[in-house]
Amino acid sequence: MKKLLIGIILLLTMDCAAQQLDSFQNGKIKLYYQTAGKGQLIYLLAGGPGYPPEIIARQLMDSLKNKFTVIVPHQRGSGQSKNIVCNEETINIAAYVSDLYQLMKIRGDSKAILLGESWGGLLAQAFAATYPQKVSKLILVASAPPSYKLWHVLEDNQYARTSQAEKDSMHLLQQIFGTKTPAELDQLKQTHPDYPVVKAYYQFITILHRNHYYNRSRIDPEFDFAFYNFNFQPIPLIDKDVLENKRDYTPQLKKLAIPVLIIYGRQDDQGESTFQEQIECFKNKKVVVLEKCGHEVIQEQPELFLKALNDFLLKK
């Protein structure tokens, strides 16, 4: 397992080295981003928040860089931008929107296509609602909903997807690692991956992750890399921000006339009601629903996903 993990990390390091990695400052926080290709600008916004951005970069950069300038922000709390203090002041939707605006300002990008996956889709919608003049097209891939009103549906559907045996296992696993904070668990993952607490957390996340697939016997071939490099600290902070502040971007999104692609799997554990809310927001949208596909759209239906993406991007 360790040798496999080291091999994956080395391959990813080599892949990142082949792309340009730059940094910028937003206030006191130093953030990073990857760049590749030439042409019209497209920003790839990874999920999470806290998910390793290197994965979406590798999944899509090679497919897009021949016709587009591809930017992958390492969002605060993830990738090369991981080492920040995570609290309510540093981790909130407004801060992520500000980071994206600052990056575009520093680069001199007047307008760009935004492609957001899962949490990245919510970030893309929040940015488009705040700075509509900066977005030329919007691509939402298995995106989180744009309003707090359906936020509970995500957890309810994941709970319903989990068998009783899995619920029992998760309860036992939580008793092992549940006394640790997300920050403590993240530190243990990095320094003591063989600790029983970390192994229990690994098994817990594995059960949750399998819920993302239509074929639940599958698991992400890069799951080890994702787990050990995923910073889970931002997730509860964003959940709190959405729910306590009742974040709702639907009024602003309904005013947009830009082209929007909404693509999701029919069997996504978020539930189709969360995608219906997005569909109702946009005037000029194309909706692609992939059958026999869960939340991991790019992995489960790569050919159909790329066809839908290219058809949308290359349409005049």
Residues 139 and 186 in one domain: no
Number of domains making up the chain: 2
Question: 70 and 19: one domain?
Answer: yes
Residues 171 and 232 in one domain: yes
Full pLDDT tens readout for the chain, 316 residues: 433 443 444 444 444 435 789 999 999 999 999 999 999 999 999 999 999 999 999 999 999 999 999 999 999 999 999 999 999 999 999 999 999 999 999 999 999 999 999 999 999 999 999 999 999 999 999 999 999 999 988 888 888 888 999 999 999 999 999 999 999 999 999 999 999 999 999 999 999 998 899 988 777 788 999 999 999 999 999 999 999 999 999 999 999 999 999 999 999 999 888 899 999 999 999 999 999 999 999 999 999 999 999 999 988 6
227 and 295 assigned to the same domain: no
> pLDDT at position 16, please?
44
Residue 87 within a domain: yes
Residue 80 and residue 19 in one domain: yes
Is 27 domain-assigned? yes
Q: What is the pTM of this model?
A: 0.92
Domain boundary among 173, 202, 237: 237
Q: What pLDDT is recorded for position 172? A: 96
- Structural domain includes residue 89: yes
89, exposed or middle or buried, with CB in 10 Å at 0-12, 13-18, 19+? Answer: exposed
Residues 112 and 259 in one domain: yes
Identify whether 216 is part of a domain: yes
Please identify, among 186, 211, 237, the residue that sits at the C-terminal boundary of a domain.
237
Q: Tell me, yes or no, whether 140 and 196 share the same domain.
A: no
Phi, psi dihedral angles at 32 (to 5 degrees): -120, 160
Question: 168 and 255 share a domain?
Answer: no
pLDDT on residue 10:
40
CATH number at residue 283: 3.40.50.1820
Does one domain contain both 24 and 131? yes
For residue 7, is it within any domain? no
Q: Which of 206, 167, 229 minimizes the C-alpha distance to 6? A: 229
Looking at the fold, whether 202 and 252 belong to one and the same domain comes out as no
Confidence (pLDDT) at 18: 52
Q: Residue 242: inside a domain, yes or no?
A: no
Contacts of 147 (CB under 8 A, 6+ apart): 247, 248, 249, 250, 277
Picking from 111, 116, 103, 110, the residue whose alpha carbon sits closest to that of residue 136 is 111
Q: Are residues 30 and 126 in the same domain?
A: yes
Length of the chain in terms of residues written: 316
Say if residue 114 is in the same domain as residue 252. yes
Let me know if residue 8 belongs to a domain.
no
Domain that holds residue 278: 14-152+247-314
Question: Three-state SS string across the chain, please?
Answer: CHHHHHHHHHHHHHHHHCCEEEEEEECCEEEEEEEECCCEEEEEECCCCCCCHHHHHHHHHHHHCCCEEEEEEECCCCHHHCCCCCCCCCCCHHHHHHHHHHHHHHHCCCCEEEEEECHHHHHHHHHHHHCHHHEEEEEEECCCCCEHHHHHHHHHHHHHHCCHHHHHHHHHHHHHHCCCCHHHHHHHHHHCCCCHHHHHHHHHHHHHHHCCCCCCCCCCCCHHHHHHHCCCCHHHHHHHHHHHCCCECHHHHCCCCCCEEEEEECCCCCCHHHHHHHHHHCCCEEEEEECCCCCCHHHHCHHHHHHHHHHHHHCC
Q: What does R_g of the chain's alpha carbons equal in angstroms?
A: 19
Q: How remote is the C-alpha of 25 from its chain's centroid?
A: 22
Answer yes or no: is 3 within a domain. no
Residue 63 · residue 95 · CB < 8 Å: no
